Structure 1
Amino acid sequence: MNKNILLIGFMGCGKSTVGRALSKRVGKYFLDTDNLIESSENKYIKNIFELYGENHFRNLELECANWLKSSVKSSVISCGGGFIYVEKYIKLSEIGDVIYLDVDFEQIVKRLSGAEIDKRPLFKDNSKARELYEHRVALYKSVATKIVDGSKTVDEVIEQIL
């Protein structure tokens, strides 16, 4: 099967961790949209936000989505937390099966260390991050092919996906 699997969810919900393990399990390539953007721009996301702003970053995500749609097959793709906004322009389901890793906000905060939070510009203010989380959850659920409980172990999450 050469269909992609897209993992979506809020920052820190485990998309990259689950994605790497899932790709090994099913024999597919693993891609991370944030890493792709960082590589193409030769800058960390934090620096892209600081230098050019969020709108510029969202445009880079749209370019990435177009590339994924036209060029990538048979991969597990971990999508950045805000990648959901490309849905206005490109249906994520046209790129692959969309799996939402559902994890509550408190669990995400527990998972993220200080260094991890520092790398995430939208997580600087905890109350704003919670607002953003609440807003995005509805978006994630509306486009997901499948919703899985991302608070489980990596193996349990993979079992739910498969």
Structure 2
Amino acid sequence: MNNLILIGFMGCGKTSVGLQLAKQLNFKFCDTDQIIEEKAKDTINHIFESKGEEYFRQLETETIKELKGRLKATVLSVGGGLPIQTGNEKLIRDLGQVIYLKTSKDTILKRLSGDTTRPLLAGDQEKRIETLLSFRAPIYEAAAHLTVTTDGRMFGDIIDEIIKRTGVQHEIISDQRT
């Protein structure tokens, strides 16, 4: 399976890196949050506000289940909380190679400074990031086939490391010759 699944905390670069990685590999790009918003005809924020986090997490799991067997040559960015739900680790690993974009609390704080669009960071943003990250980081590590650190790195360097370590570019060349 030649799909790459990007996981990590909010602001780690899943969408930004994912879009450029997909373009470089000539892959499709999908984002589970975008899929959920299209299906629900609603925003993630409004879903959280009106139906709660538990309902949203169920939508994430349903979305991953629906993608099984349908993705080919795709970079998939998943929501930061998706891997923490029981059973989702196996589901995402079944979709392809899982890459954890590891980012420090300080980098996340800089990237999300002033961002009011993320419901889980309402209130004391620094404290919320610290609490969530300390809980989620070990889960991300366990779910991932490989970890790529993003702190202080350019997208090109991150993408080059992903391609080198996954070997996915070689697979594409082989696929095109058959």
Instruction: State TM-score, norm by structure 2.
Output: 0.85
- Percent identity of equivalent pairs: 39
Q: Whose Rg is larger?
A: 2
Q: 1:96 to 1:86 in 2, by over 3 A?
A: farther
Q: List gaps (5 residues or longer) in structure 2.
A: 164-178
Q: 1:56 to 1:67 in 2, by over 3 A?
A: same
Describe the SS at the equivalent of 2:159: helix
Residue matched to 1:121: 119
For residues 121-140 of structure 1, give each alpha carbon's deviation from its aligned partner in whole angstroms, at most 9, with x where no partner exists.
00113212310111000000
Q: 1:96 to 1:104 in 2, by over 3 A?
A: same
Describe the SS at the equivalent of 1:43: coil
Q: Is contact 1:65–1:86 with CA below 8 Å preserved after alignment?
A: no
| Off by >4 Å, runs of 4+ in structure 1 | none
Q: Map of 1:1-162 to 2, 5 A cutoff?
A: 2-86=1-85, 88-89=87-88, 91=90, 92-114=92-114, 117-124=115-122, 125-126=124-125, 127-151=127-151, 152-162=153-163
Q: How many residues align?
A: 159
Q: 1:94 to 1:86 in 2, by over 3 A?
A: farther
Q: List gaps (5 residues or longer) in structure 1.
A: none
Q: Is contact 1:99–1:146 with CA below 8 Å preserved after alignment?
A: yes
